[in-house]
Amino acid sequence: MIVKSHGPAELQGLRVVLLRSAERAGGMAQELTRRGADVHLVPLIDFEGPHDTGRLDAALGQLEGYDWLVVTSVTTVRALKQRADTLRSDLPALVGSLKIAAVGTRTLEALEGEGLLVSLVRHHDQSAAGLLAELPIGTGRILLPQADIADDSLERGLLAKGWEVDAVVAYRTVDYPAVPERRLTASLAPDRDPASPLAVVLDPAGLRTGLEAGIIDAVVVSSPSIAHRFAALALTGVAAPVIVAIGARTAAAVEILGIHLDGIAVSPTPVGIADAVAAAVVNQQRKGTSRS
């Protein structure tokens, strides 16, 4: 998506790439644009339903047997909503009075937007590790719907606290674009990141062309899976832009992959991400150095 700014701001004229699709980048794109950046979207990953929905459907049909539903992302909320629709139900009807724990403010808002009451959320350390620290020791059952490539640290941590954990695949992370008939298409209410009618999505080849031409100033990497796909573009030998990661886990993945990291957005909000991009760009300008 290319959005032109309308006035002077701290990122005026800088080309910033968000490695996300239009429907998942609205808030970030709007904030960066407000500060003067020209924002380009390059989606590298997409999401599909599980190949086999048997375990997920069984769990959703027996939620009264659990003590907690632990939700770790907005994408998980979308996956659960889509599955509920397929089962000719809705999330409030399925979940009932089951206690819900959410990772972060955006997941909380997505759940509340669907009419669900969240009992526990970690606002400051918006990560699985932060939520794990808040959840009590217990002997009951927890349902943990997640991606097929999800890290198992949360599951292991819950088991160590005495919980019986059912970790089930709610969605699959795939290269963009997903197979149309398998793609997650459920929209959340309210849809916090609507696709802009002005959106222009670039493909990876377009990103590489921009990097080779030296016209990309910064790239925002929002998840470990996106970091891996970004590294797979084989960008050695091109002008290195400022790289900003969202969250500690993504930052660790970026550095393990050998990509130079310039900044970390500790707060995964549009303002927090834009602040991190601005700080990283300023630091790079002060250094007055270039990397390859």
For 143-188, the pLDDT digits (tens) are 999 999 998 999 999 999 999 999 999 999 999 999 999 999 998 8
Confidence of residue 276 (pLDDT cuts 50, 70, 90): very high
**Beta carbons of 171 and 50 less than 8 angstroms apart:** yes
Whether residue 241 sits in one domain with residue 161: no
Q: What is the pLDDT of residues 33-50, one digit of tens each?
A: 889 999 999 999 999 999
Enter the tokens of residue 54. Answer: 């048997």
- Number of neighbours of residue 131 by Cβ within 10 angstroms: 24
For residue 187, the model assigns a pLDDT of: 87
Give the domain CATH number at 21: 3.40.50.10090
Confidence of residue 198 (pLDDT cuts 50, 70, 90): very low
Q: pTM for this one?
A: 0.87
Whether residue 163 sits in one domain with residue 93: yes
Say how far apart CA 88 and CA 176 lie, in whole Å: 28
Answer whether residue 289 shows pLDDT above 60: no
Whether residue 77 sits in one domain with residue 139: yes
Q: For the chain, what percent of residues have pLDDT higher than 70? A: 90
The arithmetic mean of pLDDT across residues 60-69, rounded, is 96
Residue 124 domain boundaries: 47-174
Look at residue 36 and tell me if it is in a domain. yes
Say how far apart CA 18 and CA 285 lie, in whole Å: 21
Say how far apart CA 274 and CA 35 lie, in whole Å: 8
Whether residue 242 sits in one domain with residue 211: yes
Q: What is the dihedral sign for C-alpha 104, 109, 114, 118? A: positive
Look at residue 97 and tell me if it is in a domain. yes
- Number of neighbours of residue 292 by Cβ within 10 angstroms: 7
Q: For the chain, what percent of residues have pLDDT higher than 90? A: 66
The count of structural domains within the chain is: 2
Whether residue 118 sits in one domain with residue 62: yes
Whether residue 227 sits in one domain with residue 154: no
